[in-house]
A = this chain, B = another copy of it.
Amino acid sequence: MTGIGVGVIGTGFMGKAHALGWRNARAVLGGNLPDVRMEMLCEMPMAKAEQLAGQFGFARATDDWRALVNDPDVDVVSITTPNNLHREMALEALKAGKHVWCEKPMALTLADAEEMEAAARAAGVVTMLGYNYIRNPAYQHARRMIEDGRIGRVVHVRGWVDEDYQADPDLPWTWRAKLADAGLGTLGDLGCHLVSMIVGLAGPVESLVADMQVVHESRPLADGSGRSPVENEDTATALIRFANGAHGSISTSRSAWGRKNRLDWEIHGTKGMICFAQERMNELQVYLNEGPRGEQGFRTILTGPDHPPFGAFVPAPGHQIGFNDLKVIEAAELLTAIRDGAQAYPSMTDALGFEKVIHAIAESARSGSVRVTL
């Protein structure tokens, strides 16, 4: 068996994105990446698994995820199921010695995530969490600009991540509203993505103070039999102090009408500012205190081949990459780590750091905004 055998559990939004990521990493990003064998896809029922395995190009289908994670020809497992299944699947895959690409958040509780991270370290395999937004060439360019000192010392940070999938008061109640099934609300769905971006730009969080809110206290049951409470947060906001001395704040809402993927941030430096808006993911807004004052302004940088690995997708600037392309870059990161026997970023250890932040936000908010030190 040559190449790296891939098994994907789940075929929803993220399952398909992983399948496409695996399928295209080497085709897009180059011949130095190992070959990928699309080995097995897991879905239920079996008929659906078979149909989608055919569509996505997997050699085999299964409706038994344990079979997949224990299959000898599967080297790496993508876990893209609902959050409450991540822990069990990841532990089993790690026990079987498989590399693991797990969607975020890691688990429903911090304790579960810690258990997973310990198991990953013990297993000595390569792990990676699905923080795709940090793969964006625009984001990586911002990181390099900051590292190169283009905006000076980072002194203040702000971020927001909003969607509107829970904005409508009349939407029926689902498992998403239940702590035991969903864990955190908007913090787990959206907030951790923002944390992954911010921490990469401004460094680790030292402490925070937070508040959160249930916007719609109950929702109608789909069967018309009454209403059920919403147990987890619709919005959350935190005041943050970073280890490097910068201050800042982040805020998230899943009930923000009109926001489809508002994952935006701004990094204030002593020489300039960089801003980003995910809904215009091929752009950076950069202000530099350079040149004649009357000619200064925020410039809209359109990403292109000057912002690797954009050029591997399209050799012309301003021609746009998309969401699924981020997963292609992500898959390549994991393939490279497996090839090199190195760690991928963010490993379960790195990602546990992000999740600690969102759980600290929840903890501070529940306690009435007491400061939590990380």
* Interface core residue of A52, A55, A155 (most chain B CB under 10 Å): A155
- A279-315 near B? 1/0 per residue, CB < 8 Å: 1111010111100111111111110101100000111
- A345 at interface (Cβ–Cβ under 8 A)? no
**B313 engages A294 (CB within 8 Å):** no
- A168 at interface (Cβ–Cβ under 8 A)? yes
In the complex, how many angstroms separate the beta carbon of A215 from the nearest chain B beta carbon?
A: 5
**A298 engages B300 (CB within 8 Å):** yes
- A169 at interface (Cβ–Cβ under 8 A)? yes
Number of A positions contacting B (CB below 8 A): 104
- Chain copies in complex: 4
Instruction: Collect the chain B residues with CB atoms within 8 Å of residue A253's CB.
Output: 156, 268
- A197-222 near B? 1/0 per residue, CB < 8 Å: 00000000000011111011000000
In the complex the two chains form, what is the Cα distance from A217 to B6 in whole Å? 54
In the complex the two chains form, what is the Cα distance from A163 to B261 in whole Å? 27
Stretch of A17-25, A110-118, A224-232 that contacts chain B = A17-25
Instruction: Collect the chain B residues with CB atoms within 8 Å of residue A321's CB.
Output: 322-324
- A70 at interface (Cβ–Cβ under 8 A)? no
Name A28's contact: one of B20, B160, B261 (CB within 8 Å): B20
SS of A interface (majority): mixed
Instruction: Give residues 1-35 of A contacting B (CB, 8 Å).
Output: 12-13, 16-17, 19-20, 23-24, 26-28, 30-31
- A96 at interface (Cβ–Cβ under 8 A)? no
- A260 at interface (Cβ–Cβ under 8 A)? yes
In the complex the two chains form, what is the Cα distance from A300 to B258 in whole Å? 10
Instruction: Give residues 120-163 of A contacting B (CB, 8 Å).
Output: 141, 145, 150-152, 155-156, 158, 160, 163
Instruction: Give residues 295-353 of A contacting B (CB, 8 Å).
Output: 295-302, 304, 306-307, 313-325
Instruction: Give residues 43-75 of A contacting B (CB, 8 Å).
Output: 51-52, 54-57
- A244 at interface (Cβ–Cβ under 8 A)? no
- A179 at interface (Cβ–Cβ under 8 A)? no
Name A295's contact: one of B56, B298, B299, B313 (CB within 8 Å): B299
A residues with a Cβ closer than 8 A to B are 12-13, 16-17, 19-20, 23-24, 26-28, 30-31, 51-52, 54-57, 141, 145, 150-152, 155-156, 158, 160, 163, 165, 167-169, 209-213, 215-216, 235, 237-239, 241, 247-249, 251, 253, 255-262, 268-273, 278-282, 284, 286-289, 292-302, 304, 306-307, 313-325, 368-369, 371
7 nearest A-B pairs in the assembled complex, by CB-CB distance: A260-B318, A258-B287, A322-B322, A294-B306, A297-B299, A299-B299, A297-B301
